[in-house]
Amino acid sequence: YQGIVVGTYYHGWLPRENILKGNKVWRNFIGISLLRNATENLVEKNFIGKSFIGVLIKESNDNMVVRNTMKRNLLHAVFLKCKKNTWYMNYWGRPRILPKIIPGVGKMGIPWINLDPRPMRWAV
């Protein structure tokens, strides 16, 4: 099962400038997905829990994932074939002082990482 999906498989359509805010996404295979050319979207203040993958960003750039609470996901977040997305002040299942590393695969298919430079110490 998938929770919230923003994306398209139609090459000419670009889902952009959507705001996903204040949702509770619980017990899904993937909680929130931004897929194929989903650009300039804001994922903010959502609760994402008990999913296999909390947030998946695939072939999409210039999105912001901000102030979300992720708890009890097998993998809180991952990105595939992306160039640039911003992660900031998310809660990653436990208090963190150091930046959170988000694993993924870059645009050229090379393993890569993104960072949440200032993760939340408490759930939002």
- d(CA 44, CA 62) in angstroms, rounded, equals 14
Give domain status of residue 122, yes or no: no
Per-residue pLDDT averaged across 49-67, rounded? 97
Predicted confidence band of residue 59 (pLDDT cuts 50, 70, 90): very high
Confidence (pLDDT) at 1: 75
Q: What's the total number of domains in the chain? A: 1
Give domain status of residue 121, yes or no: no
Give domain status of residue 35, yes or no: yes
Give domain status of residue 123, yes or no: no
Give domain status of residue 124, yes or no: no
What contacts 79, CB < 8 A, 6 or more positions away?
A: 56, 57, 58, 85, 102, 104, 105, 112, 114
pLDDT at 69 over 90: yes
With 0.85 as the threshold, say if the pTM is over it: yes
Per-residue pLDDT averaged across 93-121, rounded? 95
